[in-house]
């Protein structure tokens, strides 16, 4: 895929992100066919907007991991109502965010050192008119970055946690999740992308996602890591 076609796709997605609207379908020739092309489109898109990532998030699409950036403008603290007006095709999933205690170098395969782990809600959203069916297209659209709500951090090492997400007033049995394994996978993706500086966030989504609606409140439980409540407007 040549640079002109990547720029064409990046420009369409950048304008959709700038205006908080959806983009039209990409021209067939501008659709990325490889994960590398998708990542290059995403990087060009952020460059066009002058946005610098502050971390990496890892989602799973059709059983395959897809990495995307974390943007400071898309981070929220618990207690803020999340408006759905700019979140297209929104899906909310429980997540864990780790803040790096030191630089994550490009080389190495050890577990990163985290200053804190945070319970989180990863609210996916797409600029594309439909949810992508390929990892390459998902990577181009920032891996579906919408909003990330962060709860209070704790000084814990990644471990197995029982995680649940449910609508307020209902109950759902939690599933045991190996957060260490998920964080390691995200760290390897960050290393492949060139590493991350101290203070960056690594975010991994876990469990089943829920489509939020205005007025809905979601409660997430993360065992020893704590709880998180998020309301949508």
What is residue 174's predicted lDDT score, i.e. its pLDDT?
A: 86
Report, as an integer, the average pLDDT of 151-157.
95
What pLDDT score does 21 carry? Answer: 83
The pLDDT score that the predictor gives to residue 58 is 97
User: Model pTM?
Assistant: 0.94
How many Cβ atoms are within 10 Å of 48's Cβ, its own excluded? 16
Nearest in space to 71 (alpha carbons), one of 93, 90, 55: 55
- CATH 3.30.300.30 assigned to domain 55-231? The reply is no
**Cα distance between residue 45 and residue 141, in whole Å:** 9
Contact between 60 and 66 (Cβ < 8 Å): yes
Cβ pair 95, 218 in contact under 8 A: no
Give the model confidence (pLDDT) of 82-140 as tens digits: 999 989 999 999 999 999 999 999 998 899 999 999 999 999 999 999 999 999 999 99
- The 10s digit of each residue's pLDDT in 170-180 is 988 889 999 99
Q: Above pLDDT 90, what percent of the chain?
A: 86
Coil/strand/helix, residue 181:
helix
Q: How confident is the model at residue 24 (pLDDT cuts 50, 70, 90)?
A: confident
Return d(Cα 25, Cα 12) in angstroms, integer: 9
* pLDDT of res. 172: 84
Asked if pLDDT for residue 72 goes beyond 90, the answer is yes
Structure tokens at 78: 């618990």
181 CB-near residues (< 8 Å, 6+ apart): none
């Amino acid at each position: 895929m040549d640079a002109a076609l990547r720029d064409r796709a990046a420009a369409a997605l950048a304008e959709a992100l700038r205006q908080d609207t959806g983009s039209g379908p990409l021209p067939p020739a501008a659709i990325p066919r490889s994960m590398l092309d998708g990542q290059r489109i995403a990087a060009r898109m952020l460059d066009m907007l002058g946005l610098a990532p502050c971390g990496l998030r890892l989602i799973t699409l059709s059983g395959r991991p897809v990495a995307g950036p974390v943007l400071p403008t898309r981070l929220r603290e618990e207690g803020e109502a999340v408006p759905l007006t700019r979140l297209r095709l929104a899906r909310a999933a429980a997540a864990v965010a780790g803040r790096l205690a030191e630089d994550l170098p490009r080389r190495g395969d050890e577990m990163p050192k985290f200053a804190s782990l945070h319970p989180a809600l990863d609210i996916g959203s797409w600029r594309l008119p439909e949810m992508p069916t390929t990892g390459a297209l998902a990577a181009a659209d920032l891996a579906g970055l919408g909003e990330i709500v962060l709860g209070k951090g704790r000084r814990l090492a990644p471990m197995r946690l029982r995680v649940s997400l449910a609508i307020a007033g209902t109950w759902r049995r939690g599933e045991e999740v190996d957060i260490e394994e998920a964080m390691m996978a995200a760290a390897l993706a960050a290393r492949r992308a060139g590493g991350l500086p101290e203070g960056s966030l690594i975010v991994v989504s876990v469990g089943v996602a829920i489509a939020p609606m205005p007025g809905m409140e979601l409660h997430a439980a993360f065992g020893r890591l704590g709880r998180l409540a998020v309301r949508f407007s």
